[in-house]
Amino acid sequence: MVDVSKAQDGGIIKKILTEGAGDTPSTGNEVSVHYTGRLLDGSVFDSSKDRDQLFKFKVGTGQVIKGWDEGIVTMKRGEVAILTCKPEYAYGASGSPPKIPPNSTLEFEVEMHDFYGEDCTESSDGGVLKSTTVAGTGLSNPREGATVKISWVMSHMDRELEKRSAEFILGDGAAHDIVPGIETALLKMKKGETAKVTVKSLYAYGNVGNAELAVPGAADLTYLLTLESFEQAKYKYEMDGAEKIKFAEQVKQWYQRRVREYQTFQHYFKQINLSLVPIPLTSYYGQPRCLL
């Protein structure tokens, strides 16, 4: 048995019943578990197995009791463990009437089924999954139009293919050879955060790949991405006259570049005899917010 509480105060004691394999979840990952909760006298107060339905939640985000947020992140896929949580890591002095009395120490037998990164896509299609490895600071995320400074290491099948940094306006990544998946993930990151980002080929280099970087076609890529800093774009009410004119010109140039890039993209796929269904520019490149 081992104390897995961050404070190492004996608040969460873990006993492994069945060893798991592989890595463990990160803060923000969605996990799927089966569990049975018991009081110390052995009486069951809740069980997902009785409902025959996996329990899913985002770990480390306060959706569950503190004992789970800190204990579940130590579990591997396939692992079965008992987490014994003191009251301050469970339901505290109030308990959870009528089944859990005040100041109760609880035992949870938990079976880790699966976990995956936070889905950053608007369509929730799993194309960009983010797992935080180093937490960021502050409460805000960069919004489109923010100036961001980032660095990353990109790999494919555990082979490192690219290591670089960039500073650019979020929403204009294509002009800096930055794949759409990176920009999608940045919208969900905090300043100073480092995350493992899994990018499906649709949000990376597609079926064509990138010969210069040795990325094959239809390749899913992994990025270790750090948002070093960002400066938000100003809203309309924050801009003076000169800033509004400058921003309007930037938006105009942005759309002109997008049109040229889309025309090149469409022409290339016609050349290789692929059936290309026209898509709005905004669905491929993201939609800028005109603040004027």
Residues acting as catalytic residues: 35, 45-46, 65, 91, 108
* CA-closest candidate to residue 166, choices 175, 197, 249, 158: 175
Cα(37)–Cα(62) distance, integer angstroms: 18
Cβ(197)–Cβ(187) below 8 Å: no
CA pair distance 253, 282, nearest whole angstrom? 15
Cβ–Cβ < 8 Å for 57, 110:
no
- 77: amino acid identity, one letter: R
| Cα gap 197→54, rounded to integer Å | 25
Using DSSP, state whether 46 is helix, strand or coil: strand
Reading across the β-sheet that carries 128-134, which strands appear in turn?
A: 118-119, 128-134, 194-199, 221-231, 147-156, 159-169
- State how far Cα 250 lies from the chain centre: 29
Task: For residue 248, give Cα distances in angstroms to 174, 176, 195, 243, 254.
Answer: 19, 20, 33, 9, 10
Asked if 261 contacts 174 with a C-beta cutoff of 8 angstroms, the reply is yes
CA-nearest of 29, 6, 14 to 188 is 29
